[in-house]
Structure 1
Amino acid sequence: MKIQLFLALLLGFFGVLGSAQAGDWAHYGGDAGGSKYSPLAQITPENVRSLEQAWTFSTGDVEERTSDEMRSSALEVTPILADGRLYMCSAFNEVIALHPGTGEQIWRFDPEVATDRRPGNQYTCRGVTYWVDPDAEPTARCASRIFTGTVDSRVISLDARTGEPCTGFGAEGIVAIKPEIDLWWPGEFQITSAPVIAAGKLIIGSAISDNARAEAPRGTVRAYDVRTGEFEWTFDPVPRDASSPVADSWSEDGRAITGHANVWAPMSVDEDRGLVFLPTSSPSPDHFGGTRPGDNRYANSVVALNAATGDVVWHFQTVHHDVWDYDLPAQPSLITLQRDGEPVDVVAQVTKTGFMFVLERDTGEPFFGVEERAVPQDGAPGEHLSPTQPFPVAPPPFTPQKITPEEGWGMLLFDEWSCESRLAELRSEGLFTPPTLGGTVLYPFTGGGANWGGMSFDPERQIAVVHTLSIAMEVRLIERDAYDGGNITNDAGERAPQVGADYAMTRGVMLSPLGVPCSPPPWSSLTGIDLSDGTIAWTVPLGTIEKIAPVPLPFKWGAPTMGGSINTRTGLAFIAATSDDKFRAFNTLTGEELWQADLPSSGAAIPMTYEWDGRQYVLIAAGGFGRTSVEMSDQVIAFALPE
C-alpha cells in the first residue's frame, strides 16, 4: 500500500485554517438520513447565475490508467466535508483528503486494487464515511477516522488526519470480507457504496453481478465494531432458517440456494431510534423465479433493523417475486411530513418502477396508503408470478409505465417505423409484464425510473426532487438447450446464462436505427413531488441530446445518465446527471432552470454543498460514466459566487 502524505505533517496535526461547522456535509446524503438538503443560504435563485468555477481537482486516473480501465469505471463519488476537510474516493478506491477552499490535496491513500477483476458494477466508489471516537483524546492517532469499502471487498479504516491505516481495526486497518460461496470470477462481488455507522457498529452491504447463476453469492449485510473491526452481526435478506417469520414466502429449496437480495445502494440511519434502513435488491437470478416460488420477502424491501443487534424491526416489500430486476436502488430518505398539523417521521423510498413509497418510520405502515392490484400473468413455463403487486395510492408514478407500438418513437419516419415494428412484436402490457421466450418490453427499464441518485428533499417547501429515466428495454428468455454459452455485457446490452434456472436471458435498451431510444422523449427528467399532499408539482426534461444524437441537436429531450440532486434552503435544486455534460440549478418550487455550467464529462454523481471561510461552494464529480460517456474525465469541480 502507498500513502502519499502531501502536507500531512503541516496540516494533519495543526488542522486546516478555516471553519466549517454549520456548513458541513458530513455524510454521503448530507445527513445520516439521506435528505440531501443543506441549510446554507448564500447562493439564491437571484444570484445563482453568477456562479463560477472556484477550483478543480484531478484524481490523476486519466493520465495514469489505460483507456480500457477508464471505460470500466465511473467517478460516482459525493465527497463529504468534516473536521475542516473534504474526503472522497476515486473510482479505483483511492481515498483522498482535500483543502475545502482550494482543492489542494492534503493526503492520499492507495489500497492498490487490481484492475483486472472485471467488476460487474464497474470500478466505482460512491463515498466514504467519517467517524469521531468519543472516547479518544482529540490528538490521539485515529481519534477521527475515514472508512471505505473496495472493489475487492475490503473495509478499510484510516486516520482522518493523516490517511494512515488505523492498525487496531481488523488486520492492520483492514477487514477482508469473504463471501459465503466461492466466486466465479474476482469481480462478481464488490463494495460500491459507503458504509454507515450506528450503535457503535460499522454496517456495510455489497454489490453482486447479475444473472450469472441462481445459486449466487449471498446479499449479507455485515456489522463490525467500529473501533476494532471485530464481527458483530449479519443480516441475510434471504431467510435460510425455517423459523424466520417470512420463511413461508419462499420454497425450502429457494431459501437454501438463492443469492443476492443484497444492499448495494447506500443505507440510512436514525440514531435516535437506533435503526438502520436497508434498500434490498432482487433475488437471483433477475428474470426467472422458478427456482424461488413465493413473494421472496426481505428481498425488494425497505428493511428496518435494530442497529445494535441486526434484528428486523419492520419491513415493507415494494415488489413481490421480482423477475424484472426492480431492485430498491436508492438510499431511503428519512424525512418529516405533516399530518393534521402534526409532524410525522417517515421513510421515503424511490424505486426503479417510478413509484415512491412513503412509510411511517416507526412501523413501516404506508403514510399515503398502498393497494394490492392485479398485474399481468402467464409468465414462462415454470414461473411462479405474484398475482398482485403493491401500488402506492400517492404520489402518482413519476415516470411512464406502459408503452404501445403506436408510441414507438424515431427521429425520422423510417426510424419511427422500425421502433413501432419492434414494439409490436413484443409482449407489452404495462408495468410487471413478465419476461417471456418471445420477448417482453420492460418499461421502465432496469435502470429506472429512479436509480442510485435517489431523491432530495426540501423540508421547508415539502418538495422531493427526483431524477428519473424513461427508457424501454427488451428482455427475452432463452431455452437452456438453445443457449450457446457466454456472459457478455456491452453497450448493446447483456446476455447471461442464469445457470441453475430453466432459462438464460438477454436484455438491452430498445434503440432506433439512428441510435436513440424507441420510447418517446423526454428520456431523462427532473420531477418535483409535493409531499404535503402527495401530488406531482412539476416535471421538466433534464438535458439536451446534442451529444448523443447522430447530429448535434439542442432539443430538450433529456440526456440520460446516472446521478442525483441536492436541495438548499433558498429553494434551489442542483443536479448534473446528464450526458450533455452540464451542471444545472433549478427552482425547487417550479422546476424552472436557473443556471447551467459546462463540465469536462458527465457528472454521474450526486453533488454536495458546503461553506468554507464564509463562502458557499457547490461541488460535483465530473468523471463520466464509462459505459455511456463520450469523453471520460477524473475531475472534481467546485463552483462559488465571485469573491
Structure 2
Amino acid sequence: MIRLCCSVLFGLLLAASASAGEWPHYGGDAGGMRHSAAAEITPINVENLTRAWLFRTGDMTARADDMKHSAFEGTPVLVAGSLVFCTPFNEVVALDPGTGAPKWRYDPKIATGYRPGNQFVCRGVTSWTDAAAAPDALCATRLFMGTTDSRLIALDAATGQPCLGFGRDGEVKIDPGMDLQWPGEFQITSPPAVARGVVVVGSAISDNRRVDAPKGTVRAFDARTGKPVWEFNPIVRGAEDHPESWPRGSVAHHTGHANVWAPMSADEARGLFFLPTSSPSPDFFGGERAGDNRYANSVVALDAATGEVRWSFQTVHHDVWDYDVPAQPSLVTVDWKGAPRDAVAQVTKTGFVFLLDRDTGEPLFEVEEKPVPQGGALGEFLSPTQPIPVAPPPLVPQELKPEEAWGLTPWDRAACREKIAAIRSEGLFTPPSEQGTLMFPFTGGGANWGSAAFDPATSTLFINTSRAGHVIALIPSENFEAAKAAAPNEEISPQAPTRWAVKRELLLSPLDLPCNPPPWGMLTAVDLSTGTIKWESVLGTPRDLAPVPVTFKWGTPNFGGPIVTAGGVVFIGAAMDNYLRAFDAASGEELWKGRLPAGGQATPMTYQWEGRQYVVIAAGGHARAGTKLGDFVVAFALPHGK
C-alpha cells in the first residue's frame, strides 16, 4: 500500500512537470531539477539527432575585444511563446522556438572595455507571472536579469520592453555597500530567484584581493515595484546567530564575501529561498576570521517574506580552500524508505553530495565530523574537523601521492612526481602553506556551477565532475610585489592586509597535462534513495585541446551541467571538446554526440514545440578555460518522421 501511494505521488510529480509544457526557469523548474517530461527522444532514436537551427548573437563582431574576457554560460528559458536567453554582455534575446528566428532583443548597454573580475557572464534570466495582473497586460509575465554592472532589470516577457513600474524605468541599481577597487569587482552572473512575489539576487565578487571586501549580501525586492523588501548578510547574521562562529574581535566588521554567486532555488509552496553561499574573504587565509564562519560555505534556507533564516547547513568549516558551495541546491523528492521525502541535494567542489531534509536541513544520510590535517600557516585558526557524509561516497578522488603521478612520458611523469613530493599533500583539507599545498580536487571542483540533474521517477541524481589539482602557496605579504613582478602572468593575489599573499597554479606536467591520472572529467549517476553510485562515464576527450585531434577517453575538466528527460536520456556539453553529448540515463552509455561550432561550456535545455522535441545549448566557449570562443545558440531535433 505504501509503495502504491509512493508510485501515485511520483506519477503526480511527473504529470505536473509534463503539464507545464515549457522550460520556464534556468534549472527547468524553480527548484533546479533540470528534468523534462519530454519523451520523444529516447536511447533508441537519439543517434538520429541532427541540427535543427543555429542562431548567432553577433558578439564575435560587435564585442570582439570583450569576447576575450567572456564565457557564454547561458541556458535559455521557454516562456510566453519564445525561447529567451542572455548573452555574456546581458543582452536578452527572444527566438522563435521552432526556427531560431529572432523575435525581439533588449540591450542594457554594458560599456565596452568594462572589465569584470569574473569575466563577462550571464547564466540566465528568470520568469515570473503576476497572478494579480490581467493576462494580456504589459509585464503580466516578466523576465528578471542581473547584470555584470550590478543592475536588476525587469522586462515584459512577450515584447522585451522594460517594466517601467519596476524600480526606475525597469531597473534597480544594486549598491554593493562600499567603495569598489574598480567597477568590475562586484557583479551579478546568475539568474535571480522568485517566490511569493519577491525577487532575490546574489552577487559575484572578485576573490583574494583584500579582507575588507564587499559583503555577500543577498537582496530582496518586490517583484512588481522593485522596492527593497529585506537583505540577508551571511557574515553579520552569522555573528548574531552563531557568536562562537565569529568570536568577538574577529573580522565580522570588515571581512566580506560569503556571497551567493551560483544560482539559488525557490520553493513557492513553502515560501523559501535556498542559498548556496561561498567562503568569506580572503579565500586562502582565515587568521582574521576565527571560528567556523557560519553562514558561509552553507546551504541557507530563508523565509521569502522576511529573509529570516529557517535553517542552515555548513558544508565546510572555516574555509581556507575556496571550497564555495558552487551549485544551485536541487529541490528533489526522493523515494526514502518507501515514501516520498522532500529534500535538498547539494553537490560540492569537494565531490561530496549532501542530502538534507527540505523543512529542517537535517542530513538524511549521516554526516560525521572527522579530524582533518592541521598545522596551518602562522596566525591561522583551522577547524579540527570537517563534515563528511557517510553516503553517497565522494564522486572524485581526494588524495594524490607522488607515486600516483601521471605523465604521457616517463620524463613528465617524473617531473609530476617531484612536484607532488615537494609540497604538502595529505589529502582533502590539507591547509595552505608557504611550502605549497596540493588542493585536490582543485578550486574548480568536483562539481561546480553546472549543478546536477534529477530524475524523480528513479530518485537518480546526475552530476558532472572535474578531476584536477591546484598548488596553493602562501607568500609573506612583504614579498608580494617582488613575487608579482617576477611572475606577472601567474595568479598571485595580495589578500591584503593579512600577513600572507597567495599564489595559485594548476598542477600540470611540462606537457601542460594534469599530473593526476585520467579520467579528468566524469558523469556520475547517484541513487539518492540508497546513497550508492549507479554508474560512472568518462566525459570528454582532448580532441579540441591537443595540437592534433586525438580522441583518447581521458575526460576533461568541464564547466556546465546536465539535464535529464523522461525519455531516459541525459544531455550534457560542459567538456573542453566542442560537443553536446547524450548518455543513457539507465546505464551511462554514451549514445550520441553532436558537433558544436564553439565550446559548449553551458547547461543545455529541452522543450517540445509543435509536437517536436528540441535540445538547445549555447556554444560560445570559455575564455579562461581556453576553449573555442563563439556566439552561437544551437538546437538539435529528430528529423521529421523519426
Give TM-score scaled by structure 1 length.
0.95
Partner residue of 1:301? 298
Distance 1:102 1:514, change over 3 A: same
CA contact (8 A) 1:149 1:192 kept: yes
Q: Aligned match of 2:353 in 352, 356, 362?
A: 356
Contact 1:240 1:256 in 2 (8 A): no
* Cα contact 2:139–2:157 (8 A) shared by 1: yes
Identity rate, percent:
58
The 8 Å contact of residues 212 and 487 in structure 1, kept in 2 or not, is answered as no
The one of 542, 545, 556 aligned to 2:542: 545
Aligned residue in 2 for 1:475: 472
Corresponding position of 1:251: 247
Q: Which residue of 2 aligns with 1:559?
A: 556
Secondary structure of 2:582's counterpart equals: strand
* TM-fit CA distance, 1:492: 6.8
Partner secondary structure for residue 278 of structure 2: coil
Return the alpha-carbon distance in structure 2 between the equivalents of residues 472 and 613 of structure 1: 47
Does 1:585 pair with 2:582?
yes
For structure 1, the residue ranges without an aligned partner over 5 or more in a row are 1-19
Shift of 1:546: 2.1
Contact 1:474–1:509 (8 Å) recurs in 2: yes
Q: Which residue of 1 aligns with 2:56?
A: 58
- 1:23 counterpart = 2:21: yes
Instruction: Measure the CA separation in 2 of the matches of 1:286 and 1:374.
Output: 21
**What is the CA–CA distance in structure 2 between the aligned matches of 1:492 and 1:557, rounded to whole Å?**
28
- Residue 505 (structure 2) pairs with residue 508 (structure 1): yes
Q: Cα distance 1:393–1:630, how it changes in 2: closer, same or farther (>3 A)?
A: closer
Cα distance in 2 for partners of 1:423, 1:551 equals: 29
**What is the CA–CA distance in structure 1 between the aligned matches of 2:228 and 2:322, rounded to whole Å?**
31
Q: After the TM superposition, which of the residue ranges 424-433 and 552-561 deviates more from structure 2?
A: 552-561
Of 252-261 and 389-398, more deviation after overlay is shown by: 252-261
Q: How does 1:154-553 map to 2 (within 5 A)?
A: 154-239=151-236, 244-252=240-248, 253-484=250-481, 494-553=491-550
CA apart distance, 1:218: 0.5
2: distance between equivalents of 1:491 and 1:368?
46
Q: Identify the match of residue 43 of structure 2 among 42, 45, 52.
A: 45
Number of the residue aligned with 1:596: 593
Distance in 2 of aligned mates of 1:339 and 1:583: 33
Q: Deviations over 1:160-203 (max 9, x none)?
A: 12111111111111100011111001110000000011121110
| 1:409 Cα deviation from its structure 2 partner | 1.1
CA deviation after TM superposition for structure 1 residue 339, in Å:
2.4
2:190 and 2:123 map into 1 onto residues whose CA distance is 5
State the match for 1:136 in structure 2: 133
Contact 1:267/1:276 (8 A) holds in 2: yes
| 1:21 CA drift (Å) | 6.0
Distance 2:503 2:225 in 1: 45
How far 1:338 sits from its partner (Å)?
2.0
Which amino acid letter does the alignment assign opposite residue 246 of structure 1?
Answer: H
Per-residue deviation, 1:433: 0.2
3-state SS of 2:241 partner? coil
Deviation at 1:128, TM superposition (A): 0.2
2:14 matched residue in structure 1: none
In the TM superposition, what whole-angstrom CA distance separates every residue of 1:275-301 from its partner, at most 9, and x where no partner exists?
A: 100000000000000000000010000
Q: Are the counterparts in 1 of residues 94 and 105 from structure 2 also a CA contact under 8 Å? A: yes
Q: How far is the alpha carbon of 1:134 from its aligned partner? A: 1.2
What whole-Å deviation, never above 9, does each CA across 1:433-491 have from its counterpart, x for those lacking one?
A: 00000100000000000000111011112211101000011000000111117989x99
1:79-120 alpha-carbon deviations (Å, 9 max, x no partner): 000121111100100011111001111110101111333211
Q: Do the aligned residues in 2 keep the contact of 1:347 with 1:361 (CA within 8 Å)?
A: yes
- For 1:507-543, what per-residue CA distance to the aligned partner results, in whole angstroms no more than 9, with x for missing partners? 0111111111111111111111111210111111111
Question: Relative to 1, partners in 2 of residues 1:369 and 1:194: Cα closer, same or farther, differing over 3 Å?
Answer: same
Local SS of the residue matching 2:542: coil
CA contact (8 A) 2:116 2:184 kept: yes
- Secondary structure of 1:423's counterpart equals helix
Q: Is the 8 A contact 1:609 1:616 kept in 2?
A: yes
When the two structures are aligned, how many residues end up with a matched partner?
621
C-alpha displacement of 1:628: 2.3
Residues 542 and 551, structure 2, Cα contact 8 Å, conserved in 1: yes
Distance in 1 between residues matched to 2:544 and 2:72, nearest whole Å: 19
Contact persistence 2:402–2:420 (CA under 8 A): yes
- Kindly indicate whether the alpha-carbon contact (under 8 Å) linking 1:239 and 1:246 is maintained by their aligned counterparts in 2: no
SS at match of 2:478: helix
Matched residue type, 1:429: E
RMSD, aligned CA: 1.5
CA contact (8 A) 1:563 1:577 kept: yes
Q: Is the 8 A contact 1:329 1:351 kept in 2?
A: yes
In 1, the alpha carbon distance for the partners of 2:291 and 2:489 equals 32
Map 1:85-164 → 2, pairs under 5 A:
85-164=82-161
The whole-number CA distance in structure 2 between the counterparts of 1:487 and 1:23 is 54
C-alpha displacement of 1:631: 2.2
Work out the CA distance in 2 between the residues paired with 1:119 and 1:486: 24
Q: Distance in 1 between matches of 2:233 and 2:113?
A: 29
Structure 2: distance between partners of 1:394 and 1:492 = 41
On the 8 A contact 1:492/1:508 being kept in 2, the answer is no
Q: Which amino acid aligns with 1:285?
A: P
**1:238 alignment partner, SS class:** helix
CA distance in 1, matches of 2:515, 2:347: 25
Instruction: Give the whole-Å Cα distance in 1 for the aligned partners of 2:488 and 2:624.
Output: 7
Per the alignment, residue 6 of structure 2 pairs with none
Separation in 2 of the partners of 1:131 and 1:224?
Answer: 13
